[in-house]
Structure 1
Amino acid sequence: MKSNLASDVPERLPNDQKVPPMSTIQTKNPATGENLQTYDLMSESEAFGIVEAAHEAFLDWRKKSHEERAPYLRKIAEVLRDNADKFSELMTKEMGKLYKDGKTEIEICARICEYTADNGPDALADEERQHSGGKKRGIVTYSPIGVIYSVQPWNFPVYQPMRVLAANIMAGNAVVLKHASICTGSGLLLRDLCLEAGLPKGLFDVILVGHDVSDKIIEHDLVRAVTMTGSDGAGSHIGELAAKNLKKTVLELGSNDAYLVLEDADIDLAVKTCVQGRLYNNGETCVSAKRFVVTDAVYDDFVSAFVESMKSVKMGDPFDEDTQLGPVSSEEQFDTLVEQVAKSLDGGATLLCGGDPDKDAKGCYYPATVLADCKPGTPAYDDELFGPVASIIRAKDDEDAMRIANDSRYGLGGGIFTKDEDKAIRLARDHFDTGMVRINSFGAADPNMPFGGVKDSGYGREHGGFGMKEFVNAKAIFLPS
């Protein structure tokens, strides 16, 4: 689940000179335009000091057993729940998340901590094995490796860093977080609440740095691995730099997830679920339903009902309980969406609703929008539209729908609507070229199921026990008998 991290790529001036590096971060409320807080960026030496302190904390933490680490995670879950209102308000102010969705995000994070505490000791326990034809014994142990550098986006300000933190705290590692600048306050509050929960100082900390210093953090000798959620462009840069320095990475990148509405789909269920899947978190979710591939047999029925539902969506104040759609996260994100929709219309797409934001109004509000007749070579077909814009593509039949779904450089998630569950399972398992597939449903993540993608959506897995083993040393110990 990630943001379109356009800001992770340095801007260029007309003479192709880089914009001079900023010395501060200014957070801003996308619903009102109000300036929130100013933060000073750290120097390289200050950031390196945090990495070094994290390594020192790791040297003690790695000595604890998995069972000794688990209570810290349970306490973090408790403190998060106690501060749910405060954290939800901050997330809403920093990036426009619906306040009620912020409360849900905090609960998901608490559940991740509890799942990791409950299941981590068994998942990471030593394994006895036989070798040399069963005549000798061996032990496989999952040893922590050190400081993990976590680069995270703004769309889920607590969940994104927490899913990395919980897994690595259990594994025995330390974590240094570089959060997206627009939710700097959320990153710092998470650190403070972890300290309040009793997590040793330095084991999890936050750095406030620009791109140049961030690259040097990746190269730092004490950083043993890097995990990043963001755009495929930013992921390619970070993955290349980490590989050059022989460091493992986990990358969760962009996607334009296809949801297939097959010939025997329950149309009422499909419409209701697809609207939810497109607008969840203001449409700013990596596993949002983004492309809707609809077969000829049900095309007219689905599209007419889907458009009517999107037209009826209430957009407004993210603190209002009745609001269904808040602002996108920033002016930059708003402008990107405007440009992507314009290019898609120029490329032959048809506007069925929305697409007419008031550019002079206060706040970064983009209406629920539906584009039909989306063509290859346009953003609505090829790229990730990170906001409340749905792309509808007509398919001849079920087989053609599956072909269109896989006609993407991405492969994070997707969905299938059909009354034949066996057929859906077969298509999901044998044909859908993604890391995750939803059948007759929509959801973002579950602590007990792996999360991650293929192709330009990245590699590696989080959740479901998989994340706890991404950054450990699977060490083989050979015994003589």
Structure 2
Amino acid sequence: MAIATINPATGETLKTFEPLNDVEIAAKLDLAGLAFEHYRQTSFVERSHWLKAAADILEQEKAEFAKLMTLEMGKPISAAIAETEKCALVCRYYAEHAAGFLADVSVKTDGSNSFVRYQPLGAILAVMPWNFPFWQVFRFAAPTLMAGNVGLLKHASNVPQCALAIEDILQRAGFPQGVFQTLLIGAAKVADLMADDRVKAATLTGSEPAGASLAAASGKQLKKTVLELGGSDPFIVLESADIEAAVVAATTARMLNNGQSCIAAKRFIVAEAIADKFEKLLLDKFLALKVGDPMQPDTDLGPLATPDILQDLHQQVQAAVASGGKVLTGGQPLGDRPGNFYPPTIITDIPQDSPIAQEEFFGPVALLFRVPDIDAAIKLANATPFGLGASAWTTNDQERDRLITEIEAGAVFINGLVKSDPRLPFGGIKRSGYGRELSIQGIHEFVNVKTVWVK
């Protein structure tokens, strides 16, 4: 894939980049190794100062960074501004909490002094996606750099300017040279990077095939990975729920980032007793959404990131219809304008046991299912190879406890949409990946948990 900025709202190629050659890659790996030997000796106070400076830059220049994200991958400008602000938030969170998260932990044993010490590993490779081109990187970079590791970013090939901007932010914030570097390379180079002794571990956010490929390459080298992959998140609405609030959240949860989010609600599982009302209200909300230029602040839904994503999504919609699904609105690419636009779409009556019902729809398409009771709702929610997040709506305490306990996912949100929060661990189970980002669990992923025993 070419490394280029292609405006998804117009299809225009704006800027192209030459991928790094092997000599240039080797030089950056050498620089990362040298940087780590010095950087690992820096104090939490120094790292915190630099990370807070990065947060300041993000906040002060958020309008420009937001325009860059929207230009490269098409998210509405208001969402891009919010993403930049969230990046500043995660930087401040780890700047303030990392020292406590990584402090020695005393353990009483038969030794005179026993404790656990957390130490950095070295260069950590991050293979990151285009859909949240700043947030995905900063939620990796903030804990990784605070732990004393150095970062290497292989970003998606359609957001090269975002990748370079992030490196520039961290350099301007004061981090020493080589502590965080962007590698403008194609996916084919990742296996070679994992085979290099200078790369100690890797994290990837992306598709199942990408995750499997990285895990295989890392497994050959016995190197640790953290994977955050796809999701087909359920959004369960039971009879006792506040239906109006659920519909508002459902619309936001499905249309977030133009529908291109791993934790977006994708399968709406509604109790039969309230299904007609929910369907009507959801349809009204979808019909009211404004599709258009993502640079305009009143746009609700912009283009999909690439033509291939548009084509794949429409093929899934056609497969859903072929399996028996009924399109209530949308269902066809918007061919009356340039760019990769797909309308808000609702599909009902898909057979629950059809293969398409288990797939991830990465775009503004909602699949609506009716179930008789909570037992059927939980069974359908779990009938997918994914297990990232789940949203469930009820005011019944017994139902709430069952949903929390029985849904197979890395996160369950009751009466709210699924979101990531620096204070809470984030990640999935089953084919949605393994390991955790954010919170104390995230910063512990890429450290040596060293046992120390003294007598």
2:375 matched to which residue of 1? 399
Structure 1 residue 27: deviation in Å? 1.7
1:75 matched to which residue of 2? 53
Q: 2:401 and 2:145 mapped to 1: Cα distance?
A: 35
> For residues 382-416 of structure 1, what are the alpha-carbon distances to aligned partners after superposition, in whole Å with 9 as ceiling and x for unaligned?
11111100011111211110110011100000110
2:38 matched to which residue of 1? 60
Q: 1:392 and 1:380 mapped to 2: Cα distance?
A: 13
Q: 1:342 and 1:406 mapped to 2: Cα distance?
A: 24
Structure 1 residue 360: deviation in Å? 6.0
| 2:409 is the alignment partner of 1:434 | yes
- Which of residues 54, 58, 73 in structure 2 aligns to 1:95? 73
2:424 matched to which residue of 1? 449
The aligned amino acid for 2:4 is Q
2:206 matched to which residue of 1? 230
Q: 1:228 and 1:442 mapped to 2: Cα distance?
A: 24
Structure 2 gaps of 5+ residues are none
Q: 2:136 and 2:150 mapped to 1: Cα distance?
A: 16
| 2:9 is the alignment partner of 1:34 | no
Matching of residues 281-430 of structure 1 within 5 Å: 281-359=257-335, 361-376=337-352, 378=354, 380-421=356-397, 423-428=399-404, 430=405
TM-score by length of 1: 0.92
> CA separation of 1:419/1:381 partners in 2, compared to 1, >3 Å: closer, same or farther?
same
Structure 1 residue 437: deviation in Å? 1.1
> CA separation of 1:358/1:423 partners in 2, compared to 1, >3 Å: closer, same or farther?
closer
When structure 1 is superposed on structure 2, of 170-179 and 350-359 the one drifting more is 350-359
> CA separation of 1:31/1:410 partners in 2, compared to 1, >3 Å: closer, same or farther?
same
TM-score by length of 2: 0.98
Q: 2:350 and 2:218 mapped to 1: Cα distance?
A: 37
The aligned amino acid for 2:319 is K
1:474 matched to which residue of 2? 449
Please tell me whether the aligned partners of residues 235 and 265 of structure 2 are also in contact (alpha carbons under 8 angstroms).
Answer: yes
The aligned amino acid for 1:120 is A
Quote the sequence identity (%): 39
- Which of residues 144, 167, 187 in structure 2 aligns to 1:168? 144
Structure 1 residue 361: deviation in Å? 2.8
Q: 2:272 and 2:417 mapped to 1: Cα distance?
A: 23
The aligned amino acid for 2:61 is N
Please tell me whether the aligned partners of residues 4 and 14 of structure 2 are also in contact (alpha carbons under 8 angstroms).
Answer: yes
Structure 1 residue 378: deviation in Å? 4.8
> CA separation of 1:297/1:377 partners in 2, compared to 1, >3 Å: closer, same or farther?
closer
The aligned amino acid for 2:95 is A
Find the residue that maps to 1:150 and give its secondary structure: strand
The aligned amino acid for 1:36 is L
| 2:176 is the alignment partner of 1:200 | yes
The aligned amino acid for 2:64 is K
Structure 1 residue 120: deviation in Å? 0.4
Find the residue that maps to 1:224 and give its secondary structure: strand
Q: 1:405 and 1:426 mapped to 2: Cα distance?
A: 13
> For residues 226-255 of structure 1, what are the alpha-carbon distances to aligned partners after superposition, in whole Å with 9 as ceiling and x for unaligned?
100001111011111101110000000000
Structure 1 residue 444: deviation in Å? 2.2
1:110 matched to which residue of 2? 88
> For residues 272-329 of structure 1, what are the alpha-carbon distances to aligned partners after superposition, in whole Å with 9 as ceiling and x for unaligned?
1101100011111110010001111111111111112111111111111111111111
Q: 1:386 and 1:212 mapped to 2: Cα distance?
A: 24
Structure 1 residue 375: deviation in Å? 2.6
Q: 2:335 and 2:251 mapped to 1: Cα distance?
A: 24
The aligned amino acid for 1:31 is A
Structure 1 residue 68: deviation in Å? 2.6
| 2:437 is the alignment partner of 1:462 | yes
> For residues 58-92 of structure 1, what are the alpha-carbon distances to aligned partners after superposition, in whole Å with 9 as ceiling and x for unaligned?
11110112233111110110011111111100111
Structure 1 gaps of 5+ residues are 1-21
The aligned amino acid for 1:456 is R
Please tell me whether the aligned partners of residues 389 and 418 of structure 2 are also in contact (alpha carbons under 8 angstroms).
Answer: no
> For residues 352-396 of structure 1, what are the alpha-carbon distances to aligned partners after superposition, in whole Å with 9 as ceiling and x for unaligned?
111122336301110000011123465651111111000111112
When structure 1 is superposed on structure 2, of 223-232 and 370-379 the one drifting more is 370-379
> For residues 202-227 of structure 1, what are the alpha-carbon distances to aligned partners after superposition, in whole Å with 9 as ceiling and x for unaligned?
11001111232221011111100010
Q: 2:449 and 2:248 mapped to 1: Cα distance?
A: 45
Structure 1 residue 423: deviation in Å? 3.0
Please tell me whether the aligned partners of residues 263 and 398 of structure 1 are also in contact (alpha carbons under 8 angstroms).
Answer: no
Structure 1 residue 422: deviation in Å? 5.3
> For residues 33-72 of structure 1, what are the alpha-carbon distances to aligned partners after superposition, in whole Å with 9 as ceiling and x for unaligned?
1211110011122112212211111111101122331111
Structure 1 residue 443: deviation in Å? 4.2
1:19 matched to which residue of 2? none
Q: 2:397 and 2:92 mapped to 1: Cα distance?
A: 32
- Which of residues 227, 252, 266 in structure 1 aligns to 2:242? 266
Q: 1:206 and 1:377 mapped to 2: Cα distance?
A: 44
Q: Considering only aligned residues, what root-mean-square deviation do their CA atoms show, in Å?
A: 1.3
| 2:199 is the alignment partner of 1:247 | no
